[in-house]
Amino acid sequence: MFEKLQPAPPDKILALLAQYREDGRADKIDLGVGVYKDEQGETPVMRSIREAEKRLYEEQTTKSYVGLQGDKAFCAVMGTLVLGDAILGERMRVCQSLGGSGALSIIAMMINRARPNATVWLSDPSWPNHIPLLSGAGLKPQSYPYYDAATGAILFEEMMAALRGAEAGDIVLLHGCCHNPTGADLSLEQWAAIADLCAEKGLFPFVDLAYQGFGDGLEEDVAGVRLMAQKVPELAIAASCSKNFAVYRERAGAAILVSNDAGALDNAFSQLLSVKRSVYSMPPDHGGAIVRIVLEDAGLRADWMEELEGMRSRMVTLRRDFADALRRASNSERFDFIAEQKGMFSRLGLTTGQIDTLRNDHGIYIVGDSRINIAGLHHDKLDDLARAIVAVSS
């Protein structure tokens, strides 16, 4: 059996992380995988999460199965965190997932049951794992123009023109906020125009929401998806708790379905649970339970929001200061877009050769499409980093 297989192509982001860990240089800098780091370069357990783990340890009396949907109270608080009062509870169903990727996968497999080999439209560029994940579920990826590397702006007219060419029943994958890998986010007006187009043409919006709270704020980052939920008859959302609760390894997330048709929604939700049963059965409980404890307790929730806001504002400051350092080093406005973009990522617009030189000669690790993790920057190294980037790229 195994001799029939060829090695799988490595995932670019995870391969880079492995390479970074092997590098013995003390002054190496990891701007690769999307993990938040503080000024000391650490990814600490959040205070509220640590407290929630203590409470869970004290209160939990059994490790028996929870059920296919997962923790129902977690599902309820996640539905509210994402959609607020934008829609009535009966228009929404939520189940716990294995992080954001797990939510993307089970939703994609459920969609493939409804519409085998359906076309799913992705931004060009998008998170590198979107294509393997969605095509692995049976869907057919196709790209829409999204990002102008020369200006750092969104190619909105081109995006809309491509989506006008989509067929009824096609899926449109959107990044809820903090677009990965570009940091270029849709405005509310653009969300509204896409929602109207989806409603008019019968396109199905599928929102990947992995960074709520990292862009403009916890509520601001979901304004677009909430607007969309009000305007379209149905949609799906894959929400991750990995980054905003810093529970990466716990694999906590939620798959959210919304529909105006209660019967169709129940059927879709039962198919979603049946997909889970067929691939891994019930979700792990720990990550969801600690997130639920934080969100249900007013004190812990306030503390979590404060810490999350600290993470967000550190990234906003790093963006501004790094753009300033690059302006000084390059004596140009070439990298000013970094200060305007949102969330963890921006693309520097470097070639593969330049990225290799940064890694080999300077110990600076950047993903091959020149995406940098803003949260991996250190304030005291911004000028050195800017000089190295300008040196390799001029």
Residues at the contact surface with ligand LMR, assessed by CB under 6 A: 13, 33-34, 127, 129, 180
Asked about 184 being catalytic, the answer comes back as: no
Q: Which of 208, 221, 285, 369 is the catalytic position?
A: 208
Of all residues in this chain, which one has the CB nearest to ligand LMR in the complex? 34
Residue 140 annotated in active site: no
Identify which of residues 344 and 392 has a Cβ nearer to ligand LMR in the complex: 344
> Could you say which of 210, 229, 239, 246 is catalytic?
210
Q: In whole angstroms, how close is the CB of 31 to ligand LMR at the nearest point?
A: 10
The residues, any chain, with a CB within 8 Å of residue 351's CB and separated by 6 or more, are 370
| Tally of CA atoms within 13 A in the half-sphere of 233 that contains its CB | 10
121 is catalytic: no
Number of C-beta neighbours around residue 125 at 10 A = 18
Is residue 243 annotated as a catalytic residue, yes or no?
Answer: yes
**Cα–Cα dist 37/209, whole Å:** 20
Whether 201 contacts 215, CB under 8 Å: no
Which DSSP helix (H) or strand (E) runs through 209?
strand 204-209
Shortest distance in whole angstroms from residue 16 CB to ligand LMR? 9
Q: Please identify which of the residues 37, 243, 276, 342 carries the catalytic annotation.
A: 243
Q: In angstroms, give the least distance from the CB of 270 to ligand LMR.
A: 29
Q: Are 330 and 387 in contact (CB under 8 A)?
A: no
Q: Compute how many other C-beta atoms are within 10 angstroms of the C-beta atom of residue 268.
A: 21
120 in Cβ contact with 206 (< 8 Å): yes
From the CB of 369, what's the least distance to ligand LMR, in Å? 11
Which alpha helices (DSSP H) does the chain contain, by range? 12-22, 47-59, 72-83, 99-114, 130-136, 156-164, 188-201, 223-231, 262-279, 286-296, 298-330, 337-340, 352-362, 382-393
CB of residue 161 to ligand LMR, shortest distance in Å: 28
Residue closer to ligand LMR by CB (options 33, 218) is: 33
Query: Cα-flanking dihedrals φ and ψ of residue 237, to 5°?
Result: -130, 135
Q: Give, in order, the Cα–Cα distances in Å from 278 to each of 68, 316, 378.
A: 11, 42, 44
Nearest CB to ligand LMR, comparing residues 38 and 261: 38
Closer of 141 and 233 to ligand LMR (Cβ): 141
Residues involved in catalysis? 127, 208, 210, 243
